[in-house]
Structure 1
Amino acid sequence: MTAPTINGSTYPQPVDDLLPEARKLTQELAELPSRNRLMREFRIGPQKANALLSHLTDERARQEQADTLHTAMVVRGSFADRPVLIPTDPTPDADTTDTDPGTSPDESQPAPDTTPTQPAPADERKEQPAPVESPDTNITDPPARPSRAVVVWPVVLLALPAFVAVWSGWVGLGQMCGFGQVDLLPGFTGDNGEPVATLNTAITLPIGMETYGTYALYVWLSGRLPRRARRFAMWSAITSLGVGAAGQIVYHLLAAADITKAPWPITAAVACLPVAVLGMGAALAHLVRENAR
């Protein structure tokens, strides 16, 4: 039993009936389909598929030729519409005469003038103005002054008090959440039994959060990286700065209420900050390095 064709008919169809569906298939693929694809889609033989493909190829060639001609006409029209910068003198030259189309070339030539002509004085020839190309030709812009670089040292003065406030806030909140002295070299002690090296882990919060927020803000506003890296830097910078502001608010509220131990939800959130900073920093470094390669 013969399988139904595109319109449900079991009888073979001519190429003209298959051509509209073949055009739709070409638009869906954004290119000319192969012969095997036409045979498989429309259940036709190789000869009819070759004929159908030949029609599609001819239509594509005619379309490309029409597009090229249209583009050339548009470009030519844009040049024709441009204003003329050099005005032309409407008066004819002294040595040219109007000729009648009905006269012959010999009759159109005037008789030679035997009157001697005197050349113009040298002073008058020198004083003749040169043709003006445009009305703005004689207008000269004043020389541009060299631009001075914007000073950056006021930013340092603004950053110093902010750094002190942010540092104290993060360290205080870290101590409320369980951050404190840690023995960096367990098993190694001094003569008096004290640890050789200790570190207050509360300082990791201001270093990690604020340093990453500043760097992500720089990457975002630099404009020298692809859109993907700048988008990630923008959202991560906004997030880190927002979390930093929230941390300062929480610390000052707890300190004003004389609370020395933070509630467990705040402790859990603060404990996750170093891991979150590590992940965002690694992702941003990967995007920056990928652009450099």
Structure 2
Amino acid sequence: MSTPLRSTYPIPVEDLIPAARKLAADLGSTPSRNRVMKEFRIGAEKARTILDALAEPTPEPSPDPVEQWLHAVPDPVEPEHSDADEEMPPAPGEGASSQVTPLVDPAPAAQTAAPEVVPAATPADGKPVRSWPVLLLALPAFVAVWSGWVGLGELTGFGVVHPLPGIADGFTINSAITLPIGVETYAAFALRVWLSGRVPAKARKFAKVSALSALVLGALGQVAYHLLEAAGVTQAPWQITTVVACLPVAVLGMGAALAHLIHAPETACPSENRES
């Protein structure tokens, strides 16, 4: 028999339903309304609500999510022992009753699958740009530049010389060809070093300045030759002769400096180290 719930304040119906279910279980049948009213000291309306709740099927308790998660863990599988497993000999000083632990090979660690390497997407048009049009464009420029430098060299004193006197007196060469070979070749080389991006910063900066300077100097040389040729001048003024005579030496110095900067390591200058 259940103990009547006694309280100064009215007890909610929801709190009385579990006690009413226990009372019904003790009696073996659903109690009458009067019995519920007397047992719990409530009115007829609350008693009728409790009896309606007892008539409904008892809802099954929902499983505890934590308990359900714990039961979902599989039991650990004990490693199988093979016949080849050996027993550890007892340590010195231990009696015969000491427990012997068999040698069991540890389970192999789970191997993590290597991430799949996805090849980079290649553009639809992956063909490299052909460079042969540059040779076609350079051919007429080479003819014009060559003739201009050779003509300017002849106006400034360059001409046929014997480079091997006493060795090969019959061997001669026109020194005017040194101007187009030196100036234009260096301009193309320095331009390539500047745009390659594979050299130290100092070498790239020097290549940029010297390449632009060589191109401007080559353009001025062509302008000077055509102006002198159009004016019918057979001997260039001393100012132009002085500049043209210094070109081979300047090209040699810039080429040697650029080659040194290309192979020099990127280290700070001594003055910069003192300042830092």
TM-score normalised to structure 1 length: 0.49
- Matches of 1:167 and 1:143, distance apart in 2: 43
Q: Which residue of 1 aligns with 2:145?
A: 166
**Closer/same/farther in 2, CA of residues 284 and 144 from structure 1, 3 Å limit:** closer
- Matches of 1:188 and 1:218, distance apart in 2: 39
Q: Which segments of 5 or more consecutive residues in structure 1 lack a partner in the other structure?
A: 1-109, 114-141, 190-194
Give a deviation string over 1:149-198, Cα, whole Å, max 9, x none: 10111111100000000000000000000001111121246xxxxx3211
Q: Which residue of 1 aligns with 2:76?
A: none
Q: Which residue of 1 aligns with 2:61?
A: 112
Q: Which segments of 5 or more consecutive residues in structure 2 lack a partner in the other structure?
A: 1-58, 63-120, 267-276
Q: Letter of the 1:236 partner, please give it.
A: S
Pairs within 5 Å for 1:37-186: 111-112=60-61, 144-186=123-165
CA deviation after TM superposition for structure 1 residue 145, in Å: 1.9
Greater Cα radius of gyration, structure 1 or 2: 2
Residue in structure 2 matching 1:197, options 168, 171, 192: 171
Pairs within 5 Å for 1:235-254: 235-254=209-228
1:215 is paired with a residue of what secondary structure? Answer: helix
Q: Which residue of 2 aligns with 1:23?
A: none
- Matches of 1:144 and 1:271, distance apart in 2: 52
CA deviation after TM superposition for structure 1 residue 233, in Å: 0.1
Count of aligned pairs: 152
- Matches of 1:291 and 1:234, distance apart in 2: 19
CA deviation after TM superposition for structure 1 residue 200, in Å: 0.5
- Matches of 1:228 and 1:242, distance apart in 2: 21
- Matches of 2:231 and 2:254, distance apart in 1: 33
Pairs within 5 Å for 1:262-273: 262-273=236-247
Q: Letter of the 1:151 partner, please give it.
A: R
1:272 is paired with a residue of what secondary structure? Answer: helix
- Matches of 1:161 and 1:170, distance apart in 2: 14
Q: Letter of the 2:251 partner, please give it.
A: V
1:175 is paired with a residue of what secondary structure? Answer: helix
Q: Which residue of 1 aligns with 2:97?
A: none
- Matches of 2:250 and 2:123, distance apart in 1: 49
* Structure whose residues are more often helix by fraction: 1
Confirm whether residue 233 of structure 1 aligns to residue 240 of structure 2: no
- Matches of 1:245 and 1:180, distance apart in 2: 22
Q: Letter of the 1:112 partner, please give it.
A: P
Structure 1 stretches of 4+ with a deviation exceeding 3 A read 110-113
2:173 is paired with a residue of what secondary structure? Answer: strand
- Matches of 1:261 and 1:282, distance apart in 2: 32
Moved more, 157-166 or 179-188: 179-188
Residue in structure 2 matching 1:207, options 158, 181, 205: 181
- Matches of 2:139 and 2:122, distance apart in 1: 41
CA deviation after TM superposition for structure 1 residue 227, in Å: 1.4
Q: Letter of the 2:185 partner, please give it.
A: T
- Matches of 2:140 and 2:196, distance apart in 1: 25
1:277 is paired with a residue of what secondary structure? Answer: helix
Does the CA-based 8 Å contact 1:225-1:291 persist in structure 2?
no
1:239 is paired with a residue of what secondary structure? Answer: helix
